[in-house]
Chain A
Amino acid sequence: GAVVSQHPSRVICKSGTSVKIECRSLDFQATTMFWYRQFPKQSLMLMATSNEGSKATYEQGVEKDKFLINHASLTLSTLTVTSAHPEDSSFYICSAYDWMGTEAFFGQGTRLTVV
Chain B
Amino acid sequence: GNSVTQMEGPVTLSEEAFLTINCTYTATGYPSLFWYVQYPGEGLQLLLKATKADDKGSNKGFEATYRKETTSFHLEKGSVQVSDSAVYFCALSDSAGGTSYGKLTFGQGTILTVHP
Binding site for B on A (CB under 8 A): 1, 4, 6, 32-34, 36, 41-46, 49, 93, 95-97, 101-109
Is B41 within 8 A of A46, CB to CB?
no
A102 to B41, CA, bound (A): 24
For chain B, the count of residues having a C-beta within 8 Å of the partner chain is 22
Listed A/B pairs (21) with beta-carbon separation below 8 Å:
A1-B45, A1-B46, A32-B102, A34-B102, A34-B104, A41-B108, A42-B108, A43-B4, A43-B106, A43-B108, A44-B106, A46-B104, A93-B44, A95-B102, A97-B99, A97-B101, A101-B97, A101-B98, A104-B102, A106-B36, A106-B43
**Dominant secondary structure at the B interface:** mixed
CA distance A107 to B102 in the complex (A): 13
Residues of the B chain whose Cβ atoms lie less than 8 Å from the Cβ of A102:
101
